[in-house]
Structure 1
């Protein structure tokens, strides 16, 4: 049984089975600047609406990660912002390093394992379908599996976790294309992998147009 304890501060449940300094959550994020985030979404809804939607998603990601009882590190796309929504007392902060997403993730995982972490998971910062229980489930899955992956509807993945480093996962991928999940699963064909439920990634207008919570951002449409 997983032991839980009520957090008096905000009545959220924390899974103390995950209270292990050897667990690390990597959060990849873009600095929320006008015209520089959610560009495919912005092509339909405009830069200002896309930025507002992205900020909304960032706040959601804070809500589902801040009370997760693991070590957490935010990896910024451009530069570290000290006074933003990512509380400095909760999140470590670093800058992504690499020429493409694969190299940037590889460097982050390599740093994490070099620092002594045993189970590492990476997510983006724009998954509205993701919640804290999904992240708890993912770390728990790594107790009996070497890898965990969350397939996205668009053919990519929204979460990748491992307890042994595998360089192939970050090489020879067409990042942003619908072939990423298939290629990654091929790399993991001989490994012990836990596969999570498929979820919707938010990149295009079609991903949000029928979801009520996003309606206020689309009134100008």
Structure 2
């Protein structure tokens, strides 16, 4: 079982602004529907996060919203740093470890299939291995966890490509790290993703 002060769940979100989130969904479904879907995905992610007995750190993309659906009592609100996704995640992990966390897991807000049990399993597996990864069908990952900072996982990777998972696993292999894989899930990026994986969410 996770301990509140030594485990941290990091959540990366984009500030919800119609026309600037889920643009690939909006291309075929329209901005209003895409925005509604994004809000539903955020609500789902928030519910999953709240199920975990750990420290929760919420990283906004542009500005910290003091008054929104993410209660400051439940989430330590922070701002993502500048740079590419790898640099942003690296700084977030470093922040969590610097604050005393011993097991750190990061998720985004794009996965409608993510369940509380999967996140709990990620923390549990970090008792046995160095890294835990939740792979996606498009070659990336929806979750990454580690119990010791390893900056190499965030460097020299072409983000938002279909080789992110492969490149990450190669780095882990090169540093002789032990890892575990979680169930493969799908992010919601395109209309076909929503139809297959997300349409049961309330929008």
Query: What TM-score bracket applies, with the shorter chain setting the length?
Result: over 0.9
Unaligned runs of at least 5 residues, structure 1: 1-16
1:178 paired residue among 155, 158, 162: 162
How far 1:101 sits from its partner (Å)? 0.4
Partner of 2:114: 130
Residues 55 and 163 (structure 1), Cα distance of their counterparts in 2 relative to 1, 3 Å cut: same
Looking at structure 2, the residues matched to 23 and 105 of structure 1 have their Cα atoms a distance apart, in angstroms, of: 16
Residues 95 and 215 (structure 1), Cα distance of their counterparts in 2 relative to 1, 3 Å cut: closer
Summarize deviations over 1:21-62 as a string: whole Å, max 9, x none.
Answer: 100000000001011111111111111111100000000011
Give the TM-score normalised by structure 1.
0.87
The number of residue pairs the alignment matches comes to 201
Tell me whether 1:142 sits opposite 2:126 in the alignment.
yes
SS in 2 for 1:31: coil
SS in 2 for 1:188: helix
Bigger-Rg structure (1/2):
1
What pairs up with 1:67-106 in 2 under 5 angstroms? 67-106=51-90
Looking at structure 1, the residues matched to 14 and 95 of structure 2 have their Cα atoms a distance apart, in angstroms, of: 20
How far 1:155 sits from its partner (Å)? 0.5
Residues 94 and 212 (structure 1), Cα distance of their counterparts in 2 relative to 1, 3 Å cut: closer
User: Is this contact kept in 1: 2:28–2:191, CA < 8 A?
Assistant: yes
Q: CA RMSD in A?
A: 1.5
Partner of 2:145: 161
Partner of 2:29: 45
Give the TM-score normalised by structure 2.
0.95
How far 1:18 sits from its partner (Å)? 1.5
1:191 paired residue among 177, 196, 201: 177
Summarize deviations over 1:79-135 as a string: whole Å, max 9, x none.
Answer: 001111111110010000021100000000111111111100000012110011111
